[in-house]
């Protein structure tokens, strides 16, 4: 009775899933922070985004397989706990929650800051509170309402990026005057002005940019038909994200010399201004604000569901798993994440520069750490899923287990490169410090004695067979 009472709703469709994931990926950084990656690699950043998209595809296919077979609240946190042990599931859940709390704090501060385009800057904190209250209200309604609002907020971003690609491509080809051609790709030091080193270093920022696509796994537990909707949405998000990211970056470095990107304001505004679109700044300010609100909306949804999942396993107070019987939303988990959102906003306004360094560092470490665990989990989780499904899965990732091992190795390499970027080195210290903090609490508070379920006993038996992916069939003790 308790499980039914505290069960989440199932009102999301593949249309919602796709846009929720896009909302998590494309935030303010896409429109205003693209200069950081370009400055590291020059035009070669196009290849970096393509490689990053390949890694994203491997991770998302692995997540799709697990989500279709077991669409539960908490998603990859639950899978990690079952396949790798409760401790791993615990640190995955808390690290993912923290990553989204800090990111959505950044998004809400950005949205309130850009309101200074129309209002005096000293009123920014008021807009920050208003936006936070509005997004909290959205997340306290039914999941269908959340999905619909996120769909339209993300739709605005997608339209803006598509227009940018079309207009920028027209400038390069000469549809709007003198053609730019390949000039900006090959001049100013060539296509790889910073060499392979620059390309590798840019991968950190690229992977952070792709962070958020895994939201689709968290939302799978609230979909109407996960077996149909999740694979469809995963395939759609991979293609759409690659087109939007790689396409917009390719146009960006083709229209504006890479040495000038980030020095003259938002590159999107510069391109729209170049062909004489009236009120380009006004329009893009609206787009950027909607992008920030969309990122914050996705972050609040995701972080609240992760708290709810942690509560189900006994890692957070019991009250956080209570679900409103009318809306089927974990009300207290939403409000708890919202509280820490205000803490993040306060820290931002007190010390914006220091907070930004720590927040971007934690999010960079956090998302890549989570993606690495997702891929590693998949390697050990498939035998469990096969045993549960009598050897047949509705959706399988091709190339198992090698494709997931490739993803683990590549993501580990990207994590290591954090050390070689002075501005991001703080991410390693912040991330490791966070892992040490929550690990200490886990073992000292007695949380390590929390029992996750029967599947932990399967792990050692499967260890010898995971390289070949051979299923071990065992009867479920619950049957």
Domains of the chain listed by start with CATH number: 2-447 (1.20.1740.10)
Judging by beta carbons within 10 Å of its beta carbon (0-12, 13-18, 19+), is residue 34 exposed, middle or buried? buried
Is there a contact between 466 and 459 (Cβ–Cβ < 8 Å)? no
Q: Which helix (H) or strand (E) holds 472?
A: none
Maximum C-alpha span of the chain:
72
Residue-level pLDDT at 460: 37
Residue-level pLDDT at 37: 79
Residue-level pLDDT at 408: 94
Is there a contact between 290 and 302 (Cβ–Cβ < 8 Å)? no
Judging by beta carbons within 10 Å of its beta carbon (0-12, 13-18, 19+), is residue 348 exposed, middle or buried? buried
* pLDDT tens-digit profile, the chain (479 residues): 344 555 666 667 667 777 776 766 676 666 666 777 788 888 988 999 889 888 988 998 999 899 888 888 778 899 999 999 889 999 999 999 988 888 888 788 778 878 887 888 777 778 888 888 888 888 888 788 888 888 888 888 888 888 888 888 888 888 877 888 888 888 888 888 888 888 888 888 788 778 778 887 777 767 777 777 777 777 777 777 778 888 888 988 888 888 877 655 566 777 777 667 777 778 888 888 888 888 888 888 888 888 888 888 888 888 888 888 888 888 899 999 888 777 767 776 776 666 666 666 677 788 889 999 999 999 999 999 998 888 788 888 889 899 999 999 999 988 888 788 777 777 788 888 889 998 988 888 766 665 544 343 333 333 333 333 333 333 343 33
If you write DSSP's letter for every residue of 17-49 in order, what string do you get? HHHHHHHHH-SHHHHHSHHHHHHHHGGGHHHHH
Residue-level pLDDT at 62: 92
Residue-level pLDDT at 410: 93
Strand partners, 223: 12
Q: Rounded CA gap, 359 and 365, in Å?
A: 10
Residue-level pLDDT at 219: 75
Judging by beta carbons within 10 Å of its beta carbon (0-12, 13-18, 19+), is residue 355 exposed, middle or buried? buried
pTM of the prediction?
0.83
CB count in 10 Å sphere of residue 436: 10
Residue-level pLDDT at 354: 62
């Amino acid at each position: 009775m308790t499980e039914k009472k505290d069960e989440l709703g199932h009102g999301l469709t593949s249309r919602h899933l796709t846009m929720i994931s896009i909302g998590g990926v494309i935030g303010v950084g896409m429109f205003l922070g693209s200069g950081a990656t370009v400055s590291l690699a020059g035009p070669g950043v196009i290849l970096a985004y393509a490689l990053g998209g390949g890694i994203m595809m491997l991770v998302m296919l692995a997540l799709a397989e697990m989500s279709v077979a077991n669409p539960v609240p908490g998603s990859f946190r639950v899978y990690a706990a079952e396949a790798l042990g409760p401790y791993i599931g615990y640190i995955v859940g808390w690290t993912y929650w923290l990553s989204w709390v800090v990111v959505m704090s950044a998004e809400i501060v950005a949205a309130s800051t850009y309101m200074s385009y129309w209002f005096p800057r000293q009123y920014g904190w008021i807009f920050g509170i208003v936006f936070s209250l509005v997004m909290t209200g959205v997340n306290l309604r039914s999941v269908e309402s959340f999905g619909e609002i996120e769909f339209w907020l993300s739709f605005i971003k997608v339209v803006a990026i598509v227009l940018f690609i079309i207009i920028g491509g027209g400038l390069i080809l000469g549809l709007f005057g003198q053609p730019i051609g390949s000039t900006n790709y090959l001049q100013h030091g060539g296509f790889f002005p910073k060499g392979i080193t620059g390309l590798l270093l840019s991968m950190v920022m690229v992977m952070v940019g792709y962070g958020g696509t895994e939201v689709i796994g968290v939302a799978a537990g609230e979909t109407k038909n996960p077996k149909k909707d999740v694979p469809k949405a995963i395939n759609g998000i991979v293609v759409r994200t690659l087109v939007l990211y790689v396409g917009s970056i390719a146009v960006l470095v083709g229209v504006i010399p890479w040495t000038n990107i980030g020095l003259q304001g938002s590159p999107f505004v510069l391109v729209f201004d170049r062909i004489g679109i009236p009120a380009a700044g006004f329009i893009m300010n609206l787009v950027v604000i909607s992008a920030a609100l969309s990122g914050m909306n996705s972050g609040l949804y995701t972080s609240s569901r992760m708290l709810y999942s942690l509560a189900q396993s006994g890692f957070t107070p019991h009250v956080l798993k209570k679900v409103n019987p009318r809306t089927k939303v974990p009300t207290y988990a939403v409000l708890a994440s919202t509280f820490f959102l205000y803490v993040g906003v306060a820290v931002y306004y007190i010390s914006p520069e220091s907070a930004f360094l720590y927040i971007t560092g934690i999010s960079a470490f956090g998302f890549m750490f989570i993606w690495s665990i997702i891929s590693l989990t998949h390697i050990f989780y498939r035998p469990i899923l096969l045993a549960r499904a009598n050897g047949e899965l509705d959706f399988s990732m091709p190339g198992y287990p090698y494709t997931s091992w490739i993803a683990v190795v590549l993501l580990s390499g990207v994590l290591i490169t954090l050390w070689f970027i002075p501005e991001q080195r703080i991410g390693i210290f912040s991330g490791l410090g966070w892992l040490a903090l929550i690990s200490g609490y886990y073992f000292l508070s007695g949380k390590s004695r929390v029992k996750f379920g029967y599947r932990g006993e399967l792990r050692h038996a499967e260890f010898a067979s995971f390289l070949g992916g051979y299923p071990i069939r065992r009867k479920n003790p619950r049957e």
